[in-house]
Each structure stands twice: as C-alpha cells, then as structure tokens.
Amino acid sequence: MRIDIISVVPDLLQSPFSHSILKRAKERGLLEVNVINLRDFSTSKQKQVDDYQYGGGAGMVMMCEPISNCIEHLKKQRSYDEIIYMTPDGEVMNQKMMNTLSLKNSFIILCGHYKGIDERIRQLYITKEISIGDYVLSGGELAAAVFTDAIGRLLPGVLNDETSALTDSFQDNLLSPPVYTRPENFKDLIVPDVLLSGHEKKINDWRHEQALERTKTRRPDLLNEE
Ligand code: 6GU
C-alpha cells in the first residue's frame, strides 16, 4: 500500500510512522508513506498556499492552484484508488470503513487547514472525505496519522499474530473483553478463575459474554449496527 500525504506542516507527520507497528510495516515493504509539502507546489514567491475567502469573513481558505498542481504531479506518476480529504465535515471513520479501504492499494490524503480548501478542489479531485470524529482539530495531519495507523495495521503481514486484528474491538461491532497478565493477585484484585482454568471453550464463552456486557453498558449503539 502506498499513502501520499499532502500537508502544509509536513514535520507533524515524521514521528507517527517511525515507531512500532507502522515502522515495521514500512521496513517489511508493506506500507510506503510519503509526505509532500504543499508549499513546494505554490507558484508565488512567498510560497503562499492560502488566501482570503470570497464573500468575506474570518479565516483563510486553501487555494486551488498549489493543491491542483500537487495532485496533478502525483497522478502523473501513478494512479490512485482514492483521493481523500481529511475534514471535520467528512464521513466519520469507523472500523468497517477501514476494513474496506485496507483492500485498496494507493491513496492521496489531503490535509485541510484554516477554513478548509476551495470547494472546486473537492469537486474536481476528491473521491472521499473523512472525519475522525465530532470535534475540530487545527489541521488534518493528526487525522491523516490516525487513518494511516488504522489502515496500516490491517495489511496482511504487518501484525505478527495474524489473528490479532480480527479480535480487536469493533471487528464484530463488540468492544474487547477485559484482559489480565501477571500477577494473579494485585492489590487484592484477583484474575477471574476461568482465565486460569485452561478450558478453552469456557474462556472463549466468558470473553464473548464480557464483550457483550461491555458493549451493552458502554456503547449500546454498536449493537444496533448491521
Ligand atoms: Cl479530518 N480534520 C480536522 N481539521 N478536524 C477534524 C477532523 C479532520 N476530524 C475530526 N476533526
């Protein structure tokens, strides 16, 4: 999978992909993340990428030309399955969306800033608009990092235990059950007996029950989704 991220603050996107699972995905050649500085595609001397909005009002808007130049440049080198705009008014990301998108190969992610991008860029180039939740971030970069993490860990061969992504919270619209490690007794809180029983079926049943219970109390909305 290849993810090309267009940003006005590319430095923000250095560290998130240099550790742990995403680092391993890159080292194994399963994921390539490329951060592009939008200012490199500005044609003005001051490297301008935003301008006042027509109609007035506070806040700048990301201009058409640098974004258009950048996307056209990238598209000359390869084709993309999706050109995604990270924006609070996009479709809210969930596990099902990530599962579907993880089957694709190549993405451009455009990170919004200021008041957002000129509407014509959305009309001309953007194939999908994604939000990571109902709150506002100061830019799309952290959302792009969240997207890349969520998709990267689903790629076959990235997680060592191939089954572990399947047992994540949300994979069957259930939250994960509680987990324990040593010691058996910590400050008088005891690991449930069943987990020490060695009885695989009982353990699986218990975990499923706990997952259901947790979902009912914390996220009943998940139980109504198909
Ligand atoms: Cl993708 N961008 C911004 N700026 N804020 C957000 C978001 C994205 N998702 C939730 N809030």
Rounded to the nearest angstrom, the distance between the alpha carbon of 7 and the centre of ligand 1 is: 14
> Would you list the domain boundaries of the chain?
2-152, 167-224
pLDDT at res. 162: 60
Quick check: 172 pLDDT over 90? Answer: no
Closest-CA residue to 192 (of 178, 176, 211): 178
Report yes or no: 207 and 197 within 8 Å, Cβ to Cβ: no
- Within 6 Å (CB) of ligand 1, which residues are found? 86-88, 112, 131-133, 135-137, 139-140, 143
Rounded to the nearest angstrom, the distance between the alpha carbon of 135 and the centre of ligand 1 is: 7
Rounded to the nearest angstrom, the distance between the alpha carbon of 206 and the centre of ligand 1 is: 38
Q: Give the atom of ligand 1 at the shortest distance from the alpha carbon of 93.
A: 9
Rounded to the nearest angstrom, the distance between the alpha carbon of 111 and the centre of ligand 1 is: 9
Per-residue pLDDT tens digits for 92-127: 999 999 999 999 999 999 999 889 999 999 999 999
Q: How far apart, in whole angstroms, are the C-alpha atoms of residue 136 and residue 208?
A: 35
Q: How deeply is 186 buried, as exposed, middle or buried, from its count of CB atoms within 10 A (0-12, 13-18, 19+)?
A: exposed
Q: Give the atom of ligand 1 at the shortest distance from the alpha carbon of 134.
A: 10
CA atoms within 13 A on the CB side of 87: 20
Distances (CA, A) of 191 to 79, 184, 185, 221: 52, 5, 7, 29
Distances (CA, A) of 194 to 35, 155, 176, 216: 48, 33, 17, 22
Percent of the chain with pLDDT over 90: 88
Q: Decide if domain 2-152 falls under CATH 3.40.50.300.
A: no
Q: How deeply is 222 buried, as exposed, middle or buried, from its count of CB atoms within 10 A (0-12, 13-18, 19+)?
A: middle
pLDDT (mean) for 69-92: 98
Quick check: 36 pLDDT over 90? Answer: yes
Does this model's pTM top 0.85? My answer is yes
Report yes or no: 206 and 195 within 8 Å, Cβ to Cβ: yes
Rounded to the nearest angstrom, the distance between the alpha carbon of 210 and the centre of ligand 1 is: 33
Pocket test for ligand 1, best of 98, 132, 138 (most atoms within 8 A of CB): 132
Residue 55 — left, alpha, or beta (φ > 0 → left; ψ -120 to 50 → alpha)? left
Cis peptide bond N-terminal to 183, omega within 30: yes
Query: Regarding the domain delimited by 167-224, which CATH topology (the fold level of the hierarchy) does it fall under?
Result: Trp Operon Repressor; Chain A (1.10.1270)
Q: pLDDT-derived band of residue 20, with 50, 70 and 90 as boundaries?
A: confident
- The protein residue with its alpha carbon nearest to ligand 1, atom 7, reads 88
Quick check: 188 pLDDT over 80? Answer: yes
Q: How far apart, in whole angstroms, are the C-alpha atoms of residue 167 and residue 92?
A: 22
